[in-house]
Amino acid sequence: MNWERIESLDTLDKIVEESKQSPVIIFKHSTSCSISAMALNRLERSWNQDEMREVRPYYLDLISHRDVSDAVAAKFGIMHQSPQILLIKNGDCVYDESHMGISYQNLKSGVAA
């Protein structure tokens, strides 16, 4: 996967605007959590670039950027979880899941909806 890193609050405005043209995902990752590492690994192994070519994946290291993680939760009205994946379309979070509920197939269905 070609992750775009989120390292500043300014990136959130970019994501909202970008999501008006094509879907965006945000993966909130705790670098110190084995469940987060497992969920990330499962997503990356399942990712099919041909199926998801219009989707822009963003990666947020929430240990290094907790302020940004808090801003993501506030901006999209989603309770903070770790790990967590959010699907953003037209400026709104239309799907979110956490922990072992993170599934490529469910994410793909959300993109298609």
- As a whole number of angstroms, the distance between CA 7 and CA 62 comes to 9
**Res 1: pLDDT:** 80
pLDDT in tens, 36-95: 999 999 999 999 989 999 999 999 999 999 999 999 999 999 988 899 999 999 999 999
pLDDT in tens, 4-40: 999 999 999 999 999 999 999 999 999 999 999 999 9
DSSP for residue 100: G
* Identity of the amino acid at 112: A
Residues 6+ apart with CB under 8 A from 75: 12, 16
Domain count, the chain: 1
- As a whole number of angstroms, the distance between CA 55 and CA 35 comes to 24
**Res 113: pLDDT:** 82
Give the structural domain span for 79: 4-112
Looking up residue 46, the CATH number of its domain turns out to be: 3.40.30.10
